[in-house]
């Protein structure tokens, strides 16, 4: 009989218990995932209103989780699969989790820019489910890390809270609009899968250099400005951006803002095969905030990633990127 992987075993536990809680609580599957995740973390059944029979069934499933040892990455992946299932069911466009391969790739880049650092502070101002941030944290376990996350969506921040807890990752979370004032000191590194679109709060937008002259401002532009504001001098901002970022009517303002505050270290296009529509394609944008002693790269890292499933091409690309980091001595 085929052996099931740890991720599959754990996914089955989360899936079956989330489905049971959905029935019992008349909630959505994804809310069931958050409920079951909290139960697993608290080692208790927190929903008093459910039947004794359901409690017994939950206990039986949970015992599988407590009996086995799962790594942080196995937990992240199993949790990610159940969230994906929930998002698929609800088909909510604004609930978009950063895909696994991209999250891992950004984790690798964070490792490169922070090489040799023993302590690190990192912040994701659009943390969503926490998939991107926890993937990055799991790849940077050689450092003492202080991590922060913020999201305006209360269900997503709850999922991020459970996700981080189950992986035993200490992340300080804030449930608010990240474009308002934040209770986070400037950090070494910002990672963010940028929300894209218009920002409805014109009053708050007026505090930004990158506000629109008329009408609503672009949330993605304001997010870039806010990210640089909450980064220490010489720190890095690693953003997942739409390829169309530099094709808008406000590209000139964005370019001159970036020129004033940061060095563009790299722009790496993700494989187009990842995206159903060409317009949805994204890139990883690497910025370093200006500081004394920090210089522009002799050559910006420009690359098109091959498909993540093409192991050989990917390994060649990683070698090239490694070489670029060596040549340019880009780090904090
Ligand atoms: N990296 C996340 C993950 O792995 O789940 C996904 C990020 S998703 C592409 C963008 C996120 O930005 C959404 O979770 C959305 O709720 C959040 N968002 C949008 N506008 C926001 C705002 N003004 N302040 C804070 N979060 C915001």
Write the pLDDT tens digit of every residue in 132-182. 999 999 999 999 999 999 999 999 999 999 999 999 999 999 999 999 999
Task: Read off the pLDDT of residues 60-92 as tens digits, 9 standing for 90 and up.
Answer: 999 989 998 899 999 999 999 999 999 888 766
Q: Which of 214, 218, 224, 299 is nearest to 260 (CA)?
A: 224
Q: What is the CATH number of the domain that holds 221?
A: 3.40.50.150
Helix axes 311-328, 100-113, angle to 10 degrees: 20
Same domain, 140 and 263: yes
In a shared domain, residues 179 and 126: yes
Domain end among 90, 125, 160: 90
Q: Are residues 188 and 169 in the same domain?
A: yes
Predicted confidence at residue 204, as pLDDT, reads 98
Ligand 1 pocket test target in 128, 203, 210, 230 with most atoms within 8 Å of CB: 128
Q: How far is CA 201 from CA 152, 168, 204, 241, in A?
A: 13, 36, 6, 21
On whether both 41 and 154 belong to a single domain, the answer is no
Residues 130, 222, single domain; the answer is yes
Q: Which pLDDT value is given to residue 169?
A: 96
Q: Looking at the structure, do residues 136 and 154 belong to the same domain, yes or no?
A: yes
Contact 258, 237 (CB under 8 A): no
Rounded to an integer, what is the distance from CA 172 to the centroid of its chain?
A: 14
| 34-59 tens-digit pLDDT | 999 999 999 999 999 999 999 999 99
Ligand 1 binding residues, C-beta < 6 A: 94, 96-98, 126, 128-129, 131-132, 150-153, 156, 177-179, 193, 195, 219
Sequence-ordered list of residues with C-beta below 8 angstroms from that of 206, at least 6 positions apart, any chain: none
Asked if the structure places residue 307 within a domain, the reply is: yes
Q: Give 257's contacts (C-beta < 8 A, 6+ positions apart).
A: 209, 210, 224, 225
Residue 125 pLDDT more than 70? Answer: yes
Q: What is the pLDDT of residue 89?
A: 83
Predicted confidence at residue 1, as pLDDT, reads 47
Return the structure tokens found at 182: 């934040």
Domain assignment present for residue 255? The answer is yes
Looking at the predicted structure, is the pLDDT value of residue 291 above 80? yes
Instruction: Name the helix (H) or strand (E) containing 150.
Output: strand 144-151
Query: What Cα–Cα distance (Å) separates residue 61 from each residue in 14, 52, 58, 140, 232?
Result: 9, 14, 5, 32, 45
Q: Measured in angstroms, how far is the CA atom of residue 199 from the centroid of ligand 1?
A: 13
Report the 10 Å Cβ neighbour count for 242: 17
From the CA of 128, how far away is ligand 1's center (Å)? 5
Does residue 237 share a domain with residue 114?
A: yes
Question: Relative to the CA of 126, which ligand 1 atom is closest?
Answer: 12
Average pLDDT value over all residues in the chain: 94
Instruction: Give the pLDDT band of residue 329 (cuts 50, 70, 90).
Output: confident
- Measure CA 159 to chain center: 12
Lowest mean pLDDT among 95-99, 241-245, 319-323: 95-99
Query: Is 284 inside any structural domain?
Result: yes
Q: Are residues 322 and 211 in the same domain?
A: yes
The reply to whether 203 falls in a domain is yes
| CATH classification of the domain holding 77 | 1.10.150.470
Q: In what order do the strands lie in the sheet with 282-289?
A: 171-175, 144-151, 119-124, 187-193, 231-242, 282-289, 262-269, 301-304
What span, in angstroms and rounded, lies between the C-alpha atoms of 239 and 192? 5
Band (326; pLDDT cuts 50, 70, 90): very high
Q: Which residues contact 237 (CB under 8 A, 6 or more apart)?
A: 189, 190, 192, 224, 227, 228, 231, 262, 285, 286, 287, 288, 289
Report yes or no on 110 lying in a domain: yes
- The reply to whether the predicted model has a pTM over 0.85 is yes
Question: Are 251 and 303 contained in the same domain?
Answer: yes
DSSP state of 81: H
Determine the structural domain holding residue 54 and report its residue range: 2-90
In a domain, 236, yes or no: yes
Percent of the chain past pLDDT 90, that is, above it, reads 88
pLDDT of residue 121 exceeding 60: yes
Residues 104 and 222 in one domain: yes
253-289 confidence digits (pLDDT tens): 999 999 999 999 999 999 988 888 888 899 999 999 9
> Given 25, 56, 90, which residue is the final one in a domain?
90
- Helix or strand run (H / E) with residue 72: helix 72-90
How many domains is the chain built from?
2
What does residue 97 show for φ and ψ, rounded to 5 degrees? -85, 145
218: closest CA among 182, 191, 194? Answer: 194
* pLDDT tens digits, 158-169: 999 999 999 999
Choose the final residue of a domain: 90, 119, 148. Answer: 90
Q: Is residue 319 located within the same domain as residue 242?
A: yes
Task: Let me know if residue 134 belongs to a domain.
Answer: yes
- Res 93: pLDDT: 55
pLDDT range class, residue 4, cuts 50, 70, 90 = confident
Regarding whether 41 and 148 lie in a shared domain, the answer is no
In a domain, 95, yes or no: no
């Amino acid at each position: 009989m085929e052996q099931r992987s740890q991720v599959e075993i754990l996914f089955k536990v989360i899936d079956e218990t989330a489905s049971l809680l959905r029935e019992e609580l008349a909630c959505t599957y994804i809310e069931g995932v958050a409920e079951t995740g909290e139960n697993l973390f608290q080692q208790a059944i927190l929903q008093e209103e459910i039947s004794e029979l359901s409690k017994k069934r939950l206990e039986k499933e949970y015992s599988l989780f407590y009996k086995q040892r799962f790594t942080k990455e196995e937990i992240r992946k199993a949790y990610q699969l159940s969230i994906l299932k929930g998002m698929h069911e609800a088909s909510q466009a604004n609930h978009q989790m950063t895909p696994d391969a991209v999250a891992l790739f950004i984790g690798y880049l964070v490792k490169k820019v922070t090489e040799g650092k023993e302590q690190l502070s990192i912040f994701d101002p659009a943390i969503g489910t926490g998939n991107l941030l926890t993937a990055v944290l799991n790849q940077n376990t050689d450092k003492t890390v202080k991590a922060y996350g913020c999201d305006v969506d209360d269900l997503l921040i709850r999922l991020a809270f459970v996700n981080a807890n189950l992986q035993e990752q200490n992340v300080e979370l804030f449930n608010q609009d990240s474009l308002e004032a934040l209770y986070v000191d400037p950090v070494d590194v910002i990672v963010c899968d940028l929300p894209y679109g218009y920002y409805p709060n014109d009053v708050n937008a007026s505090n930004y250099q990158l506000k629109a002259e008329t009408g609503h401002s672009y949330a993605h532009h304001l997010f870039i400005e806010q990210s640089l504001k909450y980064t220490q001098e010489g720190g890095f901002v690693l953003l997942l951006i739409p390829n169309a970022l530099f094709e808008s009517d406000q590209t000139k303002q964005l370019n001159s803002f970036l020129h004033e505050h940061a060095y563009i270290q790299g722009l790496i296009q993700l494989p187009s095969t990842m995206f159903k529509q060409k317009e949805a394609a994204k890139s990883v944008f690497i910025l370093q905030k200006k500081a004394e002693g920090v210089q522009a790269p002799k050559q910006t890292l420009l690359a098109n990633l091959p498909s993540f499933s093409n192991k050989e091409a990917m390994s060649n690309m990683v070698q090239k990127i490694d070489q670029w980091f060596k040549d340019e001595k880009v780090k904090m």
